Structure 1
Amino acid sequence: MYKKLLEPVEVGTWRLRNRIVMAPMTRCFADDQTGTVGDDVVEYYRRRAADGIGLIITEGIIISQRGKGTFNLPGLYTEGQVKGWEKVTDAVHEEGGTIIAQLWHVGRLTHHQVTGGFPPQAPSPIRAKGKVHRFGEPFDIPEEMTVDDIKEVIRQYAKAARNAILAGFDGVEIHGAHGYLIDQFNSDVTNQRTDRYGGNQRQRLTFMKEVTQAVMQEAGGNRTVLRFSEIKDDLPDFRWDNPEETLKLYVEAFKETGVEMLHPSTNHFAGFISKDHKLHELVRKYWSGISIGVGDLNPNTANQAIENGIIDLAAFGRPLLANPDFVQRLITNAKLEIYDKTKHLSQLV
């Protein structure tokens, strides 16, 4: 019934059992003081691998203390954190799975009580509206990053990628979407710099390009995914002024870095990002590399999108929380349980 979705496929260096991807989902089950993951997280990912998920993308893993956006987030910048993730990757590989680490820095979307007393980092000192997730305090005014700060954060991304490979991950995903640090550099709303990291849209993509190149040097171009989006979590009404022209500039930047795999992120796969454009269809118009689809997909819409050549892989989030046996249910055509926030969000099963 879901022939294309369930067929094996080679992507980069990976031989995936199917085209199903576990989307990155923040879970907040790491030790808050150390940023290490425990046995419950090990079994959580093992279960998805045992189910037969083609590619697992982890929850966001922070690259530094200052990149932390709320409590209980895991990291990849200390030896202890690396050892914790080694247990996860070993478990996934024992079940025949493939897993990559999503590297994350939230930029201005945090508070000094979360980051260990440090002010948030951002391209410009513009405070975000809203409150810190699971904390309730308003976002702090961020500290504008100096060029030296920028270079240091790029090194932190590279170190996190190196640590990911040391921990046994099969690759990495760079979280450049949803209004976090990389996306803050990309947008004129949050980036009002006048140096080489600011200015027009092409110039504002400089930080994203340099992070991507640094990460690829550590993880490899054929083991690196770049996630980007038009939408921003802290700016619900934000939209690109000229979606097609903006996307063309993004794709030019992607090609300059040599990255081979993209994860265009949107809340609604079939929704329009403007009057005439759907994000994934627009991406396919200008991008011939690997593209991961996401955004309230169901098995039918995902299978059809793959058949139509719009996407190569299909990512699912909440359905995998509600159905740890998601793949097996598709194979047997069993009914899927509906996601229930009160039931599934707080459980690590």
Structure 2
Amino acid sequence: MISTKSKLFEPVKIGAWDLRTRTAMAPMTRCFADDDTGVVGEDVVEYYRKRAADGIGLIITEGTVISPRAKGNPGVPGLYTQEQVESWKKVTEAVHREGGTIIAQIWHVGRVSHHELIQGHKPQAPSAIRAEGKVSRFGKPFDEPEAMTQADIQEVIGQYAQAAKNAIEAGFDGVEIHGAHGYLIDQFNSDVSNKRTDRYGGDLKQRLTFMKEVTRAVIDAIGADRTLIRFSALKIDNPEYMWEDPEAAIRTFVEAFQEVGATMIHPSTMNFTQVLADGKTMHQLVRKYWDGVIVGVGDLDPETAEQALVEGTIDVAAFGRPLIANPDYLHRVKNGEDLVEYDAKKHLRTLV
């Protein structure tokens, strides 16, 4: 059993944030905002308040879109209107009253969307290549996107920066840039979805240009000490995807983050203990090249998280589905109590 004296429960300062524990609530799409306005209500306020009251160190919100065209699921919240900003203030105030720290995950889904969700527009993407599959919780196939122009790219970079500023206005302690899982930033990063011949295309190092420009713009807007960025090999439209040379790819990503002055990163995988190369997991490979803050995620349990923290592989351990099912997750772990099993049929429909 995890002791209350374990590393998992020790306070830590990362960036601008003084965290009560080395734990994080991983960002998870919930779809409980008003579908027309992207405004969050009292149920969302209470949802995050409960996790803060449990002592979670860092709460990372569900993906929150940066523009009407960034949307890829019904019922997702936004951070691009004043009404949305005002609604999030109730969430951040509730979390802060409980002594918690909360950041907004800012999100653009790119090509994995449908015109009915984005006011009749085609989805935006680096290249006009349709993703395989259907829109989650909507059921219709992904639309063929349109390739973004240079002007489109600059507009979207500006939208990321403005969403970060809006997050601070809403009382958030910072943001996480969602650069993972086959969404827009990751579509630029991937050779599957990016066939551009301008400076946003080419080899991996060159394809990371859009991610670097977004990250630099957000850092310029709110500071590196309030900016976390998430990246992955995993794609929602291709869960089996993996870089051809994982270690070389990770080294290239790390060099890109260092170049733009990022200090906190969130490597994402579905399996934290999966060995990728040289006998090392994704997070161990990242640590080989990165001496900044690492938030670890990937179906973690407390024991695996504790070991990774002790080894110094990660600085903060993020938990996902167990926190959906157990608002008092840390209390249960500390006291050796049984956890409620995550049940998609139940927990996708309700906020506990």
Q: Normalising to structure 2: TM-score of the pair?
A: 0.97
2:340 matches 1:334: no
| Structure-2 separation of matches of 1:137 and 1:340 | 24
Tell me what 1:266 maps to.
269
Displacement, 1:343? 2.5
Aligned AA (1:283): V
What is the distance in 1 between the residues matched to 2:67 and 2:83?
A: 14
One-letter amino acid of the structure 1 residue matched with residue 122 of structure 2: P
- Cross-structure match for 1:98: 101
Mapped to 1, the partners of 2:304 and 2:203 lie a distance apart of 37
SS at match of 1:173: strand
SS in 1 for 2:115: coil
Per-residue deviation, 1:201: 1.1
Match of 1:200 among 184, 203, 207: 203
Question: Would the aligned equivalents of 1:32 and 1:71 in 2 still touch at CA under 8 Å?
Answer: yes
Question: CA separation in 2, counterparts of 1:80 and 1:18?
Answer: 32
- Aligned match of 2:7: 4
User: Which of 326, 333, 342 is the equivalent residue of 1:323?
Assistant: 326
The alignment status of 1:232 with 2:227, answered yes or no, reads no
| Partners of 1:67 and 1:105 within 8 A in 2 | yes
2: CA distance, partners of 1:322 / 1:193: 42
Letter in 2 for 1:152: E
SS state at 1:58 partner: strand
Greater shift, 236-245 or 312-321, is seen at 236-245
Deviating above 6 A after TM superposition, structure 1's stretches of 4 or more consecutive aligned residues are: none
Displacement of 1:331 in angstroms is: 2.4
- Post-superposition shift, 1:35? 0.4
SS across alignment from 1:106: coil
* Matching of residues 52-67 of structure 1 within 5 Å: 52-67=55-70
CA distance 1:29–1:277, change in 2 (3 Å) = same
**Alignment partners' CA distance in 1, 2:68 and 2:198:** 26
Find the aligned partners of 2:115 and 2:328 in 1 and give their Cα distance: 40
Kindly indicate whether residue 138 of structure 2 is the aligned counterpart of residue 135 of structure 1.
Answer: yes
Q: Which consecutive unaligned segments of at least 5 residues does structure 2 have? A: none
Q: How far is 1:236 from its partner?
A: 2.2
Deviates most, 322-331 or 117-126: 322-331
Aligned to 2:275, the other structure's residue is in SS state coil
Counterpart CA distance in 2 for 1:275 and 1:290 is 22
Counterparts in 2 of 1:274 and 1:232: CA distance versus 1, 3 Å: farther
Residue 344 of structure 1: how far off its partner (Å): 2.2
CA RMSD of aligned residues (A): 1.0
Corresponding residue for 2:115? 112
- 1:147-199 CA distance string (max 9 Å, x none): 00000000000000000000000000000000000000001111000101111
* Cα gap change, 1:129 to 1:258, in 2 (>3 Å): same
> In percent, how many aligned pairs have the same letter?
64
Q: Which residue of 1 aligns with 2:45?
A: 42
- Provide Cα deviations, 1:81-101, integer angstroms capped at 9, x if missing partner: 000000100000011100000
Secondary structure of residue in 1 paired with 2:117:
coil
How far is the alpha carbon of 1:275 from its aligned partner?
Answer: 7.5
1:105-129 deviation digits (Å, cap 9, x = unpaired): 0000001001111100000000001
Letter in 2 for 1:214: A
Q: Distance in 1 between matches of 2:277 and 2:134?
A: 28
1:151-166 matched pairs, under 5 angstroms: 151-166=154-169
Q: Distance in 1 between matches of 2:258 and 2:222?
A: 17
Residues 239 and 273, structure 1, Cα contact 8 Å, conserved in 2: no
Q: Which of these residues, 313, 318, 322, is aligned with residue 316 of structure 2?
A: 313
Matches within 5 A, 1:239-250: 239-250=242-253
3-state secondary structure, aligned to 1:288: coil
Is this contact kept in 1: 2:31–2:76, CA < 8 A? yes
2:21 counterpart (12, 18, 23): 18
Distance 1:5 1:138 in 2: 41
Match of 2:76 among 73, 77, 90: 73
1:125 paired with 2:132, answer no
